[in-house]
Chain A
């Protein structure tokens, strides 16, 4: 087994394989890592409802097994629950993986003892939006939903009576439903920065729906997969070229969709930039949630953004925001958490990305892709002809 190899794998336990999103490979690997002592803890989502799950840090393989399956309406970044010094594994969408790496750069995570089991990701939905969409567009009672999947550009809900209800994601997003805005322009679908990249794209033939495609990205990736094979928890077979090609093709198509969303949402601001930002932030109630939830912010209580600003200031736009927009230019990964939790519904990710994207493009630096730190701010832009 080598870095770069691609396999299709599945859990040997029939129950895990059936409940798993594609082949239960991820669950079986995480549980085996615990059972064989490769890690002390695993972060997974504990399911509380069809659209509700809460991240838990567990040492109990049964809790890991219970968490099998993909939850598209649980847009949470799991890296925030990692603790430095613990040997740990986590399933990771690209934003989870990137956040983990950014946290490692800030000594919040020990990358050497953290196994990042990457999941391909086409996007997540906010549960409140999912529920409203079900009621108004699908005309379904959210409580009647028994499962969901994304297939060939359609969002399919299965109801408890076994019926499937499919609508094109494009159409849903046209009407303001579907994936979160940040996911629509998130351009990374395959977590190349994780130790493994797992997904259902590229699983074809008899294994379709019953196998997980896995690409090995690092030595740690080999270790956690081999551990599960040695434990008899998973079986793998080499991925065939056709599967690999299909996976690459879908990835490419999704990147084009993201680029189009980028143009739609992040089009240049018309008119006064100052007015734009002042209006966008006018309703901020200074709750601090956007900072508290941000996985790449490691500043804690005495941060520049909070120390330089106070609710008693009369500035039209608080220094809290101005400091943060600039401070996160090199590290915002566009995960959407800040928008999700903003109590006055400000599209914060959108604003952070307006600051971050040009800078990250200019310096050809994408945060969270590897352990390299960002280029210095001190570069003289004028000298570079800007």
Chain B
């Protein structure tokens, strides 16, 4: 009957919806709706609603054997030497991320957020790529252009866009699949965005940056925003991607692809991942598993049991996200803190760098200083400087394949969870052209193998098979496939 109630945010995406987690005596949890949460008025998408079914706590391990937390930390201390590489994509608090940065610095390294686009786009653009616009501002936009599917990828944006429509906004969607709330759904060549979209300073562009995003696509959109005066918001799949980006020094960051390449080249022998499961996040799961297998040491500091924890040499299991003390910054730049007071991850790093006492307080002050605030007030979005940037040459690579399996993304996808996303979508032409039968699953074949999966007929672009679930035979976010019965 006794339970601890935590005020927290959903770890599913960078909207960071407010919620309560009720933790029972036996450690099981229930979620509850926090109706006074400013971000989401208590509303949650399926990921948030089903958090208790899908969130599994990690266990500390060394060489596959369960160990005490302190033993895992000691083992990690021995294994992490100079030359180790560090990754934290933003699935944890700013303070834990900063702690990892301290550890990396002590080994002469940096922490990579893995967002390749940041590494290859001029630094003057980073503030615009990082913090988006306040969610309230979406509601007062006159025109909204979507380069995402809000229903699937960022569900709590849907009500904001609907509210904007009620206020008179028009909505154009440019994507793989028609979205029903858009007034028009279009396929546009990036070269013609400017002429076809007719944006101005009352417009908001909503797009996404994830670790696999082509930097040229981001630059095209940055150019579009600059040329038209439209506001731009890049959503991120990880709850604190924005906070971790703000906290990071972005010098010489590597993309996840680069890190995998360097592991394969033997340049990286030890990899430390903080709440970052590369097997789940990267589209070519087999390639990632192969590369990770070549490491001398894979050290995973994580709150969540996930695929990478099963193959790691050392797992330092920290408390679940809702129990952590610390700060999160969501896609609109809003700073949020929960009621948790756990500091396992920070204490672990404190032990490793020989600074065990009250590292949290120091890191928390550093975070607030970086954000330019004295105290966290969830109802006030801090002001962020967004410097002017110059127009860039950008040539997005055309995904020129005849039939492409495309990952749409979404909270379940990025967390490697199969829930109600166990099917692919394609349009009726593709179904007829390949003589698919109703109710009989489709076979998708790539160079790497095949999968048999349920399909749904949707208004998807010609030649596209859309998936929200990770499939074993893909080589990238877009994979050439053939479709058959």
Q: Are B3 and A57 in contact (CB under 8 A)?
A: yes
0/1 string, B328-370, CB within 8 A of A gives 1: 0000000000000000000000000000000000000000000
Cα distance A49–B33 in the bound complex, in angstroms: 15
Q: Are A86 and B1 in contact (CB under 8 A)?
A: yes
Query: Known contacts A287-B155, A344-B162; is A126 also within 8 Å of B45 by CB?
Result: no
Instruction: List, in ascending order, chain B residues with CB within 8 A of A74's CB.
Output: 35
0/1 string, B439-464, CB within 8 A of A gives 1: 00000000000000011111000000
Q: Are B420 and A340 in contact (CB under 8 A)?
A: no
Q: Are A283 and B180 in contact (CB under 8 A)?
A: yes
Q: Which of A48, A49, A282 has the most CB of B within 10 A?
A: A48
- Interface residue A313 (Cβ < 8 Å from any Cβ of B): yes
Cα distance A318–B352 in the bound complex, in angstroms: 53
Q: Are A340 and B42 in contact (CB under 8 A)?
A: yes
Cα distance A117–B43 in the bound complex, in angstroms: 29
Q: Are A344 and B34 in contact (CB under 8 A)?
A: no
- Interface residue A5 (Cβ < 8 Å from any Cβ of B): no
Cα distance A341–B455 in the bound complex, in angstroms: 30
0/1 string, B1-34, CB within 8 A of A gives 1: 1010101000000000000100000000000111
Instruction: List, in ascending order, chain B residues with CB within 8 A of A341's CB.
Output: 33, 35, 42-44
Q: Are A343 and B43 in contact (CB under 8 A)?
A: yes
Residue of A nearest to B53 (CB): A301
Q: Are A54 and B20 in contact (CB under 8 A)?
A: yes
When the two chains form the complex, which single residue of B32, B159, B454 contacts A54, counting CB atoms closer than 8 Å?
B32
Query: Known contacts A41-B1, A56-B5, A128-B36; is A314 also within 8 Å of B457 by CB?
Result: yes
B-side interface size class? 35 or more
Query: Known contacts A127-B35, A341-B42; is A285 also within 8 Å of B180 by CB?
Result: no
When the two chains form the complex, which single residue of B45, B50, B180 contacts A343, counting CB atoms closer than 8 Å?
B45
Cα distance A325–B58 in the bound complex, in angstroms: 40
Q: Are A288 and B456 in contact (CB under 8 A)?
A: no
- Interface residue A51 (Cβ < 8 Å from any Cβ of B): yes
Cα distance A344–B33 in the bound complex, in angstroms: 15
Q: Are A285 and B158 in contact (CB under 8 A)?
A: yes
| Main DSSP-derived SS at the A contact region | loop
0/1 string, B148-179, CB within 8 A of A gives 1: 00010001101100110000000000000000
When the two chains form the complex, which single residue of A49, A143, A289, A314 contacts B36, counting CB atoms closer than 8 Å?
A49
CB distance from B231 to the nearest CB of A (A): 22
Q: Are A75 and B35 in contact (CB under 8 A)?
A: yes
Instruction: List, in ascending order, chain A residues with CB within 8 A of B422's CB.
Output: 312
CB distance from A311 to the nearest CB of B (A): 4
Interface residues of B in 46-81 (CB under 8 A from A): 46, 48-50
- Interface residue B123 (Cβ < 8 Å from any Cβ of A): no
CB distance from A58 to the nearest CB of B (A): 9
0/1 string, B269-289, CB within 8 A of A gives 1: 000000000000000000000
Q: Are B158 and A312 in contact (CB under 8 A)?
A: no
- Interface residue B40 (Cβ < 8 Å from any Cβ of A): yes
- Interface residue A166 (Cβ < 8 Å from any Cβ of B): no
Instruction: List, in ascending order, chain B residues with CB within 8 A of A54's CB.
Output: 5, 20, 32, 34
Residue of B nearest to A282 (CB): B180
Q: Are B50 and A288 in contact (CB under 8 A)?
A: yes
Instruction: List, in ascending order, chain B residues with CB within 8 A of A126's CB.
Output: 35, 41
Cα distance A342–B33 in the bound complex, in angstroms: 11
When the two chains form the complex, which single residue of A282, A293, A313 contacts B33, counting CB atoms closer than 8 Å?
A293
Instruction: List, in ascending order, chain A residues with CB within 8 A of B454's CB.
Output: 312
Q: Are A344 and B1 in contact (CB under 8 A)?
A: no
When the two chains form the complex, which single residue of B33, B49, B423 contacts A311, counting CB atoms closer than 8 Å?
B423
Q: Are B36 and A127 in contact (CB under 8 A)?
A: yes
Q: Are A340 and B33 in contact (CB under 8 A)?
A: yes
CB distance from A337 to the nearest CB of B (A): 9
Size of the chain A interface, CB-CB below 8 angstroms:
40
- Interface residue A298 (Cβ < 8 Å from any Cβ of B): no
Residue of B nearest to A288 (CB): B49
Q: Are A57 and B45 in contact (CB under 8 A)?
A: no
Cα distance A52–B20 in the bound complex, in angstroms: 12
CB distance from A207 to the nearest CB of B (A): 33
Residue of A nearest to B151 (CB): A285
0/1 string, B123-150, CB within 8 A of A gives 1: 0000000000000000000000000000
Residue of B nearest to A50 (CB): B36
Cα distance A183–B32 in the bound complex, in angstroms: 22
Instruction: List, in ascending order, chain B residues with CB within 8 A of A314's CB.
Output: 456-458
- Interface residue B394 (Cβ < 8 Å from any Cβ of A): no
Q: Are B45 and A345 in contact (CB under 8 A)?
A: no
0/1 string, B406-435, CB within 8 A of A gives 1: 000000000000001111000000000000
Q: Are B7 and A48 in contact (CB under 8 A)?
A: yes
Cα distance A86–B1 in the bound complex, in angstroms: 9
- Interface residue A286 (Cβ < 8 Å from any Cβ of B): yes
0/1 string, A4-42, CB within 8 A of B gives 1: 000000000000000000000000000000000000010
Q: Are A52 and B181 in contact (CB under 8 A)?
A: no
CB distance from A245 to the nearest CB of B (A): 37
Instruction: List, in ascending order, chain B residues with CB within 8 A of A344's CB.
Output: 155, 158-159, 162
When the two chains form the complex, which single residue of B35, B162, B420 contacts A283, counting CB atoms closer than 8 Å?
B162
- Interface residue A2 (Cβ < 8 Å from any Cβ of B): no
CB distance from A385 to the nearest CB of B (A): 41
Q: Are B44 and A343 in contact (CB under 8 A)?
A: yes
Q: Are B46 and A287 in contact (CB under 8 A)?
A: yes
0/1 string, A70-105, CB within 8 A of B gives 1: 000111100000010010000000000000000000
Cα distance A52–B7 in the bound complex, in angstroms: 11
Residue of B nearest to A143 (CB): B379
Residue of A nearest to B33 (CB): A341
CB distance from B296 to the nearest CB of A (A): 42
Query: Known contacts A48-B7, A312-B454; is A285 also within 8 Å of B46 by CB?
Result: yes
CB distance from B429 to the nearest CB of A (A): 15
Instruction: List, in ascending order, chain A residues with CB within 8 A of B155's CB.
Output: 285, 287, 343-344
Residue of B nearest to A53 (CB): B36
CB distance from B468 to the nearest CB of A (A): 9
Q: Are B158 and A340 in contact (CB under 8 A)?
A: no
Q: Are A287 and B5 in contact (CB under 8 A)?
A: no
Cα distance A293–B158 in the bound complex, in angstroms: 20
When the two chains form the complex, which single residue of A52, A292, A293, A310 contacts B34, counting CB atoms closer than 8 Å?
A52
Q: Are A52 and B158 in contact (CB under 8 A)?
A: no
Instruction: List, in ascending order, chain B residues with CB within 8 A of A57's CB.
Output: 1, 3
CB distance from B441 to the nearest CB of A (A): 10
Query: Known contacts A128-B36, A341-B33, A344-B158; is A289 also within 8 Å of B421 by CB?
Result: no
Q: Are A83 and B1 in contact (CB under 8 A)?
A: yes
CB distance from B140 to the nearest CB of A (A): 13
Instruction: List, in ascending order, chain B residues with CB within 8 A of A143's CB.
Output: 379
Instruction: List, in ascending order, chain A residues with CB within 8 A of B1's CB.
Output: 41, 57, 59, 83, 86
Closest 7 pairs between A and B when the two form their complex, measured CB to CB = A52-B36, A312-B423, A343-B43, A128-B41, A311-B420, A127-B36, A287-B46
Report A's interface with B, CB cutoff 8 A.
41, 46, 48-49, 51-52, 54, 56-57, 59, 73-76, 83, 86, 126-128, 143, 282-283, 285-289, 292-293, 310-314, 340-345
- Can you list 28 contacts pairing A with B, beta carbon distance less than 8 Å? A46-B5, A57-B1, A57-B3, A126-B35, A127-B35, A127-B41, A128-B35, A128-B36, A283-B181, A285-B46, A285-B155, A285-B158, A287-B46, A289-B33, A289-B44, A292-B49, A293-B33, A312-B423, A312-B454, A312-B455, A314-B457, A340-B42, A341-B33, A341-B43, A343-B45, A343-B159, A344-B155, A344-B158
8 new A-B contacts at CB < 8 Å, known A52-B35, A75-B35, A311-B420: A48-B7, A52-B36, A76-B35, A127-B35, A285-B155, A286-B420, A310-B423, A312-B455
